[in-house]
Amino acid sequence: MKQSKLLIPTLREVPNNAEARNLQLLLRAGFIRQVSGGVYAYLPLAMRVLKKMNAIIEEEFEKIGAVEIKMPTLLPLSLLEKTGLTSSDEKAYNFKNRTGKNFILGSTYEELISELIGDEVSSYKRLPLTLFQIETKYRNDKRSRFGLLRSYEFIMSDAYSFHATEKSLDEMYRAYQKAFSRIFERLGVKVKSLLGDSQIDEQTDALEYMALSESGDKVGCFSTGSDYAADLQAATSAFTSKKSHESLKEIEKVTFDQQKNLEEAAVALDIPLQKTIKTQLYIADDQPILILVRADQKVNELKVKKYLQVQRLNAADETKVETYFKSAPTYLGPIGVSIDCPIYADLQVQDLANALTGANEENTYLQNINPERDLQVEYYADFRLVKEGDVSPDNSGTLELKKGVEVGRMVKVGTYFSERLKTSVLDENGQHIPVQMGYYELGISRLLATVAEQNSDQEGINWPAEVAPFDLHIVQTNMEDETQTKLTNTVEKMMIEAGYQVLVDDRLERGGVKFADADLIGCPVRITVGNQADEGTVSIKFKQTQATIEVKQEELISTLDILLNSES
């Protein structure tokens, strides 16, 4: 294919607003262009890579019996409201059609797929069944970040399996794990598998696949002494009770002349943060609750939500705090709570003695709070986010926190959706049983960005062979040289007949410009037709290793076959 016929708008400099490495690479190499914040156009080179990525995914999924479908972009809100998961989702694009019916742009399809199976499959004999699609999805985030790693519009493969038994679901879950491993290997991307969070039920198995990246918006927790790895939201740490043996003191009220938050008050009173109680008000469904953690810790809202088994958990804003407690959030405390507001506390809080907390009065705190004596706590549980250096939950090593991007995940959904949507089949005894479901997703646009970022150098992208836009990039240095043109045409024909996908730089540009663009684009092999064309000699450069070699035209195919096989 002639480069002059393609739209490949390369850039010499990194755009000012492109902070993420993946965005810099793909913009400079002419693969994508930003249409609006968080919205991108995929240009010809990107489309070639995406088609190859999709083909790999389709091939590996079909090996385990998955079949492809296509679901609509417009989803009726009434269907999603049946499960209670998406009806209030602030990340959904909501709108009405001309008749006033509510729709959202598709981002998740568990409800629609489950209802489809419920309508069309009535007997266990038609299970297991696994379906997948590769589609553009939409997410109305507050802001987009990190280029293709977090955008408003993204490409994703989502697969769903349906089973009559948990054993069958387990078998398919393992099959998808193997399929994912093969896909990542063929794409040339390095990932780590982590314990994930299903966001449905505390006992539901979930796996996340993370590619480490400083541009990532996820945090993974890894043990220094074992294979334990978990997403930050799902991670736990070993807890050993260290009950203080201090003598219990009487509660004292402390008032400051000026505003101080809990941390500042602790410093002023020479109290370590480990002896403070931070109080946060949440609305769990419609019930106000208080969550207590130490001031050096953060609340893990997902743990709270799952522990309480509520569908919605929202941090109360300043207005709600003042409505319930007649106090600013800064001075919120758990003493003297008179309204119907249950208190839940992190495990570490119960070990405190003579702690500092808010007094529900402006500029005022209470010293010498002792949980067993002074607080009416409903339950103590693990409600905090783990921190760097915490002991691993298996008591082997400590936790390290690393940034990354989630490129895939799978969840044993079980009967969550089938119970809510009445999706059942008749078993061998003629009894209705809820359908077991598994969910498996791959972020394709994220993978495009991740492959580019992980396989790159200062010159540009080094595409792995299976997903490169072209196998070979032929660069003719002087378009006015007839001998070069003749040899270029001959080499192009030879390579195409040998089964290679070939890009030919036939532009009227200087050799230096062509070489720079070829390095940005990143095809695995560059063949240069230059000053030795009259001798029938070309230069081969392997992008990944930077190795170069000069060969005669007639030896080109055999040389490439040998060297490419040795590299692979």
Interatomic CA distance for residues 149 and 216, integer angstroms: 7
Are 426 and 480 found together in one domain? no
For the chain, how far is it from start to end, CA to CA, in angstroms?
25
- Position 89 pLDDT exceeds 60: no
Q: Which of 352, 381, 410 is the last residue of a domain?
A: 381
Q: How confident is the model at residue 217 (pLDDT cuts 50, 70, 90)?
A: confident
Mark whether 365 and 496 lie in a shared domain. Answer: no
Chain-centre distance for alpha carbon 356: 38
Q: Are residues 443 and 376 in the same domain?
A: no
- State the average pLDDT over residues 141-163: 88
User: Where does a domain end: 326, 346, 381?
Assistant: 381
- DSSP annotation of 299 reads B
**Residue 324 domain flag:** yes
Six token digits for residue 382: 């693990």
pTM attached to this predicted model? 0.88
Contact between 24 and 214 under an 8 Å Cβ cutoff? The reply is no
Q: Are 60 and 182 in contact (CB under 8 A)?
A: yes
Confidence of residue 75 (pLDDT cuts 50, 70, 90): confident
Indicate the pLDDT class of residue 568, thresholds 50, 70 and 90. Answer: low
Nearest to 310 by CA among 513, 85, 98: 85
Give the pLDDT confidence of 483-502 residue by residue, as tens digits: 999 999 999 999 999 999 99
**Is the pLDDT score of 66 beyond 60?**
yes
- Answer whether residue 459 is part of any domain: no
CA-based radius of gyration for the chain = 29
* Percentage of the chain exceeding pLDDT 90: 72
Residue 5 pLDDT class (50, 70, 90 cuts): very high
Residue 500 included in any domain? yes
Confidence at 203, pLDDT banded by 50, 70, 90: low
Measure the CA–CA gap between 77 and 110, rounded to whole angstroms. Answer: 13
- Rounded distance, CA 483 to CA 506, Å? 14
Categorize the per-residue pLDDT at 401 as very low, low, confident or very high, splitting at 50, 70 and 90: very high
pLDDT for the residue numbered 459: 92
80: pLDDT strictly greater than 80? no
Predicted local confidence at residue 37, as pLDDT: 84
Tell me: do 117 and 213 sit in the same domain: yes
d(CA 29, CA 23): 10
Say which residues have a Cβ less than 8 Å from residue 504's Cβ, sequence separation at least 6. Answer: 1, 2, 3, 474, 476, 488, 492
Residue 242 domain-assigned (yes or no) = no
pLDDT, mean of residues 353-360: 94
Mean pLDDT for 193-221 is 82
Domain, as residue range, for 559: 472-567
Between 187 and 327, the more confident residue is 187
Q: Lowest mean pLDDT: which of 179-183, 199-203, 295-299?
A: 199-203
> What mean pLDDT comes out for the span 25-39?
93
Is residue 134 domain-resident?
A: yes
| 223 within some domain | yes
Is 3 within the bounds of a domain? Answer: no
Q: What is the pLDDT of residue 326?
A: 84
Residues 6+ apart with CB under 8 A from 547: 541
Please give the average per-residue pLDDT across 252-277, as a whole number. Answer: 94
Across the chain, mean pLDDT equals: 91
pLDDT in tens, 440-454: 999 999 999 999 999
Phi-psi region of 422 (alpha: psi -120 to 50; beta: other; left: phi over 0): left
d(CA 244, CA 350): 10
d(CA 147, CA 405): 12
Question: Do residue 225 and residue 257 come from a single domain?
Answer: no
Q: Residue 321's closest CA among 290, 345, 277?
A: 290
Q: Report the pLDDT value the prediction gives residue 52, as an integer from 0 to 100.
A: 98
Residues 311, 225 share a domain: no
Look at 215 and 554; give whichever has higher pLDDT: 554
Q: What is the pLDDT of residue 354?
A: 95
Q: Which residues pair with 529 in a beta bridge?
A: 476
Which is it for strands 67-68 and 74-76: parallel, antiparallel or unpaired? unpaired
The pLDDT of residue 86 is 44
More confident residue, 384 or 200: 384
Spatial contact of 357 and 365, defined as CB atoms under 8 Å apart: yes
* Model confidence band, residue 202 (pLDDT cutoffs 50, 70, 90): low
Q: Let me know whether 305 and 212 are in one domain.
A: no
Q: What is the CATH number of the domain that holds 483?
A: 3.40.50.800
Element (H, E) at 414: strand 399-414
| CATH number of 179's domain | 3.30.930.10
User: In this structure, are residues 519 and 548 in contact, taking their beta carbons and an 8 Å threshold?
Assistant: no
**Do 147 and 214 belong together in one domain?**
yes
- One domain, residues 275 and 325: yes
- Residue 57 maps to a domain: yes
Per-residue tokens: 360: 């529900």
- Structural element, H or E, at residue 367: strand 364-369
Do 147 and 106 belong to one domain? yes
Residues 448 and 363 in one domain: no
% of the chain surpassing 70 pLDDT = 96
Question: CATH number for the domain including 306?
Answer: 3.90.960.10
Q: Is the dihedral of CA 78, 80, 82, 88 positive or negative?
A: negative
Side chain identity, residue 492: E
Read off the pLDDT of residues 325-348 as tens digits, 9 standing for 90 and up.
888 899 999 998 866 899 999 999
Q: How many domains does the chain have?
A: 3
Q: Assign 162 to helix, strand or coil.
A: strand
Average pLDDT over residues 341-357: 94
Same domain, 336 and 193: no
Last residue of a domain, one of 423, 452, 481: 452
**Weakest mean pLDDT among 147-151, 163-167, 246-250, 520-524:** 147-151
Q: 263-270 long-range contacts, Cβ below 8 Å, gap at least 24?
A: 263/295, 265/356, 265/365, 266/295, 266/356, 269/356, 269/365, 269/367
Residue corresponding to tokens 């939500």: 305
Of residues 563 and 410, more confidence is placed in 410
Q: At what angle do helices 444-454 and 44-63 cross, to 10 degrees?
A: 110
Q: What mean pLDDT is predicted for residues 552-562?
A: 91
